[in-house]
Amino acid sequence: MPRDPAPAAARRALSALVHRIKASTGHDVDTLKAHRDRGLLDETHARLVDQHRELTETETGVSFYRTLLHRLSSGEFPVDSALFERIDRAVGQLQQAAEAREAAARRVTATLEPIEAAAATRPAAGERQLSAADQAALLTISGGAKLYEHLLTGRMSVTAACGSRIPYPELQRLEDAGLVSRDTSHPVHAGQPVVLTEAGRTALTTARRPATPPVPKTAARPGAWPTTPAHRR
């Protein structure tokens, strides 16, 4: 019996999406997931990560029911009416899992395409980019930070939850750029919370993004996942 090409085709489709995500965001999926868990992503990128997680879960479901069908047809079980019922039920479950996977892939693609379009129009070389120092400062602030004024010297600096300190002039520069904001309702001697703005999260997400050309979108062959609906009985 010829080898079923469906698993390899599905893996290639998933891999293509992973490469497109990295090419357009400058980060691999695992890094984006870590940023998502820390609340560093803007709404669009956070949605992309959540949808990719859903896609991964649906692919696990497809693999489970495909494996179950292989086992049922392997000759391990006696051929009787009970086996036919189990096979029929597994086919239906596999079809539902495949449809869920295709729907999840479409959601990922729909969210990814505007990100790819934005990446294609990224600033040209020579325009202002987020420096390595500013990127490090934003990463430090993202974990929690407060601006304090020393009661004796009057000097102000940002103290992060990790213990790092950021000079006040650097904070002012990030504020002027609209990348961070602080809660001025708290007195400085008690600590004013400093957080990333939406622009700051976006800048951190796209910081140092490599100038990678977008992955070409090739037309899927007839019957290839995920564009072709699952076979219906």
Q: Which two tokens stand for residue 124?
A: 């040209």
Q: Determine contact, residues 147/157, Cβ cutoff 8 Å.
A: yes
pLDDT for the residue 223 = 45
User: What are 51-71's pLDDT values in tens digits?
Assistant: 999 999 999 999 999 999 999
The pLDDT of residue 182 is above 90: no
Q: What is the mean pLDDT of residues 98-107?
A: 94
Question: Average pLDDT of 88-101?
Answer: 95
134-170 in b/e burial notation, b at 16+ Cβ within 10 A? beebbbbbbeebbbbbeeeeeebbbbbeeeeebeeee
pLDDT tens figures, 71-81: 999 988 999 99
Tell me the mean pLDDT in the region 75-96. 94
pLDDT at position 38, please? 83
Taking only the tens place, the pLDDT of each residue in 115-169 is 888 877 755 443 446 778 888 888 888 888 898 887 777 788 888 888 888 888 8
Tokens of 221: 């062959």
Q: Which helix (H) or strand (E) holds 146?
A: strand 145-149
Confidence of residue 1 (pLDDT cuts 50, 70, 90): very low
Q: How far apart are CA 98 and CA 62, in angstroms?
A: 6
Query: 3-state DSSP call for residue 223?
Result: coil
